[in-house]
A = this chain, B = another copy of it.
């Protein structure tokens, strides 16, 4: 039997988060996060047990409590990783020097292809379901997803339109373009097994581009 713990010290034998960490420990820690992200994204928080994660990743439940404090901590860490991973392509398109139509088409298509990825859809689905329990993750998704891509659209529009509309109009245009490109296809993809194919994506982007051109042809 261990000696009685001094006043204020941990009274149980629960493992405290380690300060020093072994190389092996670091590897296990990352493996756990990667595997957990995959499982959590596919089946949600309640749908995955710690035993399953451990069995797939190696290590042991002890690690989860030592590294992440518990199931919730592992979940948050894993999903924050996945967020950055899935939405990275949103910021990748290079539109310097492109004209309005060409640039919007490229940006819109990049958005659509990123959002309709199976990984992005699964993550989106899961986050919507868990927003009640983990509000911070939902906010992070919105910030990294729609907010980011709308900002990218706005930046391009400001350049391409060379200040013709007022700044406030630019933001609105960007939002409308975003919704016209992605709204319906993403919505349907969340409920159907097979996301829209090449033809539908191109048509959706083309329609949105035509709309923006019509909206900017006169004063707005």
Asked if A176 and B211 sit within 8 Å, CB to CB, the answer is yes
Interface 1/0 per residue, A136-164 and B, CB below 8 Å: 00110110001000000000000000000
Interface check A188, CB cutoff 8 A: yes
Interface check A180, CB cutoff 8 A: yes
Asked if B44 and A129 sit within 8 Å, CB to CB, the answer is yes
Asked if B178 and A146 sit within 8 Å, CB to CB, the answer is no
Min Cβ gap A156→B in Å is 18
Q: How far is the CA of A47 from the CA of B132 in the complex (A)?
A: 12
Which B residues are CB-close (under 8 A) to A187? 142, 146
Interface check A131, CB cutoff 8 A: yes
Interface check A192, CB cutoff 8 A: yes
Interface check A98, CB cutoff 8 A: no
Asked if A211 and B207 sit within 8 Å, CB to CB, the answer is no
Q: How far is the CA of A190 from the CA of B208 in the complex (A)?
A: 24
Which B residues are CB-close (under 8 A) to A215? 211, 214-215
Classify chain A: how many residues form its interface, as a range: 35 or more
A-to-B contact residues, CB < 8 Å: 44, 46-47, 125-132, 135, 138-139, 141-142, 146, 172, 175-176, 178-180, 182-184, 187-188, 190-193, 207-208, 211, 214-215, 217-218
Chosen A-B contacts, 5 in total, with CB atoms closer than 8 Å, are A138-B190, A139-B192, A146-B188, A178-B183, A211-B211
Given A126-B129, A211-B211, 14 more pairs with CB closer than 8 A: A44-B129, A125-B129, A125-B132, A128-B190, A129-B130, A138-B192, A139-B191, A142-B191, A146-B187, A175-B184, A179-B179, A179-B183, A180-B180, A215-B215
